[in-house]
Amino acid sequence: MPVSAVDTRLPVMEAFYTLQGEGFHQGRAAYFIRLGGCDVGCVWCDVKESWDAAIHPQRDIEAMVAEAASHPGRLAVITGGEPLLYNLNELTAALKAAGFETNIETSGSSPLSGTWDWVCLSPKKFKFPLPEVVAAADELKVVIFNQSDFAWAEQWAAQVKPGCKLYLQPEWDRRDKILPAIIRYILDHPAWELSLQSHKYIGVP
What phi, psi does 166 have (nearest 5°)? -115, 125
Buried b (16+ CB within 10 A) or exposed e, 78-105: bbbbbbbbbbbbbbbebbbeeebbbbbb
CA distance 45 to 36: 14
**Residue pLDDT, tens place only, 117-168:** 999 999 998 899 999 999 999 999 999 999 999 999 999 999 999 999 999 9
Question: Which pairing describes strands 101-106 and 118-121: parallel, antiparallel, or unpaired?
Answer: parallel
**Structural element, H or E, at residue 202:** helix 198-202
pLDDT over 80 (residue 7)? no
* pLDDT the model gives residue 1: 43
pTM for the model stands at 0.93
pLDDT over 50 (residue 76)? yes
* pLDDT the model gives residue 4: 47
* pLDDT the model gives residue 184: 98
Buried b (16+ CB within 10 A) or exposed e, 149-174: bbebbeebeeebeeebbbbbbbbeee
CA distance 76 to 80: 13
Query: What percentage of the chain exceeds 70 in pLDDT?
Result: 95
* pLDDT the model gives residue 2: 45
pLDDT over 70 (residue 173)? yes
**Residue pLDDT, tens place only, 93-126:** 999 999 999 999 999 999 999 999 999 999 998 8
Amino acid at 194: L
* pLDDT the model gives residue 50: 72
Calculate the average pLDDT of the chain. Answer: 93
* Alpha helix positions (H), 87-142: 89-97, 131-136
* pLDDT the model gives residue 142: 97
* pLDDT the model gives residue 54: 85
* pLDDT the model gives residue 39: 82
pLDDT average, residue stretch 177-198: 97
Q: Can you list the domains of the chain with their CATH numbers? A: 9-202 (3.20.20.70)
CA atoms within 13 A on the CB side of 10: 34
